[in-house]
Amino acid sequence: MTGPFDSGIRIGLDIGGTKIAGIALADDGTVLGRVRRPSGWGDAAVLDGAAASVIELIDQLDVSRERIRSIGIGIPGLVDAASGVVLHAVNLGVASLGLAAHVREALGVACVVENDVKAAALGAAALRRDTAPIAYLNPGTGVAAGVVIDGRIWRGARGTAGEVGHLVVDPQGRVCGCGQRGCIETLCGGGALARAWGRGGELPVRDILDAADAADETAVALRDDLFRGAAAAVRALVLAADVETVVIGGGLTALAPRIEPGIRARLRRDAVPSPFLQSLHLDERIELLPADSAVAAIGAALLSAANAPTHPLEKEIPVHG
Ligand SMILES: [Zn+2]
């Protein structure tokens, strides 16, 4: 008889600015355990939080550490996935940290690190029942996206694949943090919307939607920007990578019922003059995740499997074909 632990357990951690969400998966994807704890500020706190989350999961499952096959970590910031080094994770107070090496050393388990949105893209793809290429769009403070093709994160030549947030769609628009004007991020990024709104508040996007419902002119314009920006991002991802579905996650999913119809309507409206765009049925190709979805932790748990060469011949293909 074989049990769920026989081929090893994969642990995935999603380290965010305020919390760490951890998950333990069996080889067949069954969720064996979950953990949630606050994340800390600075290198030592991030490392301690990661190690404590793993230990908590091991205790919960009541298994020996040898049963843990791999630890995957999704973390915001610039990640060199090959070396496991995290750079500029500003929300966590991390400038440069060899996260994978430290975790490996502390726990004696293989560790892979990836940007949190790319990890979430992998998780979103894994939750689907087919293998069609997908994109994961994460409108948070900024707007990031990841593309998964054949079950693997598509990075592109220099790791920029999917960065549609900095595609200019309104050359006369607001100045973006990247220096350009009218990037998609200036339209539907939470940070840009909060600045344009300028009235403070803990949840500015929700406040904008509330005020727009009450016919506040500024809010109506910003809500329109939100739908326009998200629709532009969906269009860019499908046109550039021909993904079957754009899965939308991130902080805005808490507001899904209030934004999903608007994004779909905007996609339909933008397609009116173009039989070509109409033929793509973009409004039917978006999917909003539930607010409490653990896609980033799930994707992180799957990282080592997805990043390892899956085909024995892959290593042998000569560079010049
Ligand atoms: Zn930009």
Domain boundaries of the chain, sorted by first residue: 9-115+296-308, 128-288
pLDDT score for 159: 84
Q: Tell me if domain 9-115+296-308 and domain 128-288 are identical in fold.
A: yes
Banded model confidence at residue 321, pLDDT cuts 50, 70, 90? very low
**pLDDT surpasses 90 at 28:** no
Would you tell me which CATH number, out of the four given (3.30.420.40, 3.90.470.20, 3.40.50.12280, 3.40.50.970), belongs to the domain 9-115+296-308?
Answer: 3.30.420.40
**pLDDT surpasses 80 at 233:** yes
- Residue with token string 């499908």: 238
Q: In terms of CATH, what superfamily is 128-288?
A: ATPase, nucleotide binding domain (3.30.420.40)
Q: Which of 46-55, 73-82, 121-130, 158-167 has the highest mean pLDDT?
A: 46-55
Distance in Å, CA 11 to ligand 1 centroid? 34
What Å distances lie between residue 112 and 83, 145, 151, 292, 307, CA to CA? Answer: 9, 20, 17, 24, 9
Average pLDDT over residues 236-257: 94
What span, in angstroms and rounded, lies between the C-alpha atoms of 34 and 11? Answer: 9
What span, in angstroms and rounded, lies between the C-alpha atoms of 36 and 29? Answer: 19
Distance in Å, CA 82 to ligand 1 centroid? 26
Distance in Å, CA 42 to ligand 1 centroid? 27
Give the helix ranges, DSSP H, for 37-98. 43-61
Banded model confidence at residue 305, pLDDT cuts 50, 70, 90? low
> Which has the higher per-residue pLDDT, 128 or 316?
128
Ion ligand 1 neighbours (CB, 5 A) are 166, 176, 178, 180, 183
pLDDT score for 2: 46
Question: Residues of the chain with pLDDT > 90: what percent?
Answer: 82
Banded model confidence at residue 307, pLDDT cuts 50, 70, 90? low
Instruction: Judge contact between 145 and 156, C-beta under 8 A.
Output: no
pLDDT score for 54: 97
Distance in Å, CA 68 to ligand 1 centroid? 40
Instruction: Judge contact between 193 and 186, C-beta under 8 A.
Output: no
In eight-state DSSP terms, residue 27 is T
- Residue with token string 């300028």: 198
Q: What is the mean pLDDT of the chain?
A: 91
pLDDT score for 319: 40
In eight-state DSSP terms, residue 183 is B
Residues pairing with 149 in the sheet: 152
Distance in Å, CA 175 to ligand 1 centroid? 8
Q: Per-residue pLDDT tens for 153-167?
A: 998 888 889 999 999
Banded model confidence at residue 310, pLDDT cuts 50, 70, 90? very low
**pLDDT surpasses 80 at 181:** yes
3-class SS letters over 1-19: CCCCCCCCEEEEEEECCCE
Distance in Å, CA 212 to ligand 1 centroid? 25
Banded model confidence at residue 306, pLDDT cuts 50, 70, 90? low
